[in-house]
């Protein structure tokens, strides 16, 4: 079981396999992160609210 490095939410092993950089066992950002998001291979601050 893995957790997101940014928010601590649970992420599946399949999600880590697809979205984590090679050699990492956790992801830096997940879909639950409201303040950061993936932008290609980089991580950036969200420009707008992703909340409800």
Q: Which tokens in the block code for residue 46? A: 């969200």
Q: Radius of gyration of the chain from Cα atoms?
A: 11
Total domains present in the chain = 1
Tokens linked to 7:
């928010």
18 assigned to some structural domain: yes
Give this prediction's pTM: 0.71
Beta bridge partner(s), residue 3: 10
Residue 26's alpha-carbon distances to 1, 7, 35, 36, in angstroms, are 9, 12, 18, 16
Q: Does 7 reside within a domain?
A: yes
Long-range contacts of 38-42 (CB under 8 A, 24+ apart): none
Residue 37 domain-assigned? yes
Domain-embedded: residue 33: yes
* pLDDT tens digits, 1-52: 799 999 999 999 999 999 888 888 999 898 888 888 778 778 888 887 665 5
**22 SS3 class:** coil
């Amino acid at each position: 079981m893995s957790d997101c490095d940014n928010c601590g939410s649970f992420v599946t092993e399949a999600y880590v396999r697809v979205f984590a950089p090679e050699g990492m066992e956790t992801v830096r950002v997940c879909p639950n992160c409201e303040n950061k998001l993936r932008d290609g291979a980089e991580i950036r601050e969200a420009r707008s609210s992703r909340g409800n």
